[in-house]
Amino acid sequence: MLQSLGPAREDKIIALMQAFRADPRTDKVDLGVGVYKDASGNTPIFAAVKQAEEQLWQEQGTKGYTALLGNADYIAAMQALTLGDAVPAERLTAAQAVGGTGALRTLFQLVLSADPEARFWISDPSWPNHAAILEAMGAPWQSYRYFDRTTRMVDVEGMHADLADIGPHDVVVLHGCCHNPTGANLTAADWAALTAHFAATGATPLIDIAYQGFGDGLEEDAAGLRTMAAGVPQLLIAASCSKNFGVYRDRVGCAIVLAETQAIRDRVAGALTAINRTYFSFTPDHGAAVVAKVLTDPALRQSWETELKAMRTRMLALREGLADALRRETNSDRFDFLAAHRGMFSLLGATPEQLAELKERDGIYIVGDSRVNVAGLPEDGLPALARALVSAGV
């Protein structure tokens, strides 16, 4: 049986990480990995997370199971973090999930359980795992235009043209903020227009919000999501705490559902319970308990928000610094989009040949679609990086 298995599809990002680790050069630069890094190249643990873990160690009296839907305090805190008071609580239900990836898988399964004819729409480009998860589930999907590779901003006209004929069987995956991999975000007007379109067509938005707090602020990054939640009958949210709490390996996610009525919400809660039961029975609690404690303890929350703001402002400064260095190097404004984008990523627009040259000649590692991790930019090496990019013809 097992000998009939074919080779697995290579994950290009993982392969790039392995190549970077094997490179003996001391001045190499990793702009490919999708995690936040500080100035020393470390992915730090938030002080509030450390303190919450210590408190849990002191206070926790059992390692018994939580509920099938997960940690109730965590779920309530995540609903408040993402939605605020945009919608009535009686229309909401949620399930704790194993990271943002698990939240997406849960919501995709929920949709297919409710509507086997459902069709999913994913932005072009998007996080590769969106399509990979759906393909693993045998679910149909199509792409919609999102990124204008000339202006390096959102292709609003193309997006609306591709989504013009969506209807009740369609689920449209949107990035809540800090679009991965482009860094180009929807404006408030774009969110309002899409909300009206979904309300009129009966299509369902699924918002993947993996970077809340990494763009313009916790409230600002959720503004579009909240606009849409207030204007459509149903909405799905896949939330992740990996980035904004730094708990990558603890796999802390949440699948949130806004239902049209309380009766539908109750049926959804039953379906989510059944999905969790067959996927992993009970979700791991440690990371969720930590996040819940941080979000509900005023002192811990203040500490977390302060540290998160420092990360955000550092990334904004790096964006502006690289844009400035490239402006000086090229004597043009063609890289100014870097300062306008938000979040950890932007697409440089480099060709595979240019990326190969940067890797071999300069030890600069960038993913094949030219996505750069802004948090990995060398703070004291931006002029040298700009020279290398221009020398390679980017």
Q: Please list the active-site residues.
A: 127, 208, 210, 243
Q: Which residues of 355-387 are buried (b: 16+ CB within 10 A; e: fewer)?
A: bebbbeebbbbbbebbbbbbbbbbeeebbebbe
Picking from 161, 188, 166, 163, the residue whose alpha carbon sits closest to that of residue 177 is 188
Quote the CA–CA distance of 191 and 188 in Å, as a whole number: 5
Quote the CA–CA distance of 175 and 255 in Å, as a whole number: 14
Question: How many Cβ atoms sit within 10 Å of the Cβ of residue 9?
Answer: 8
**CA 160 from chain center: how many Å?**
22
**Tokens read off for 94:** 């949620």
Q: Give 224's contacts (C-beta < 8 A, 6+ positions apart).
A: 176, 177, 186, 188, 190, 191
204 forms beta bridges with 171
Do residues 52 and 44 make contact, with C-beta atoms less than 8 angstroms apart? no
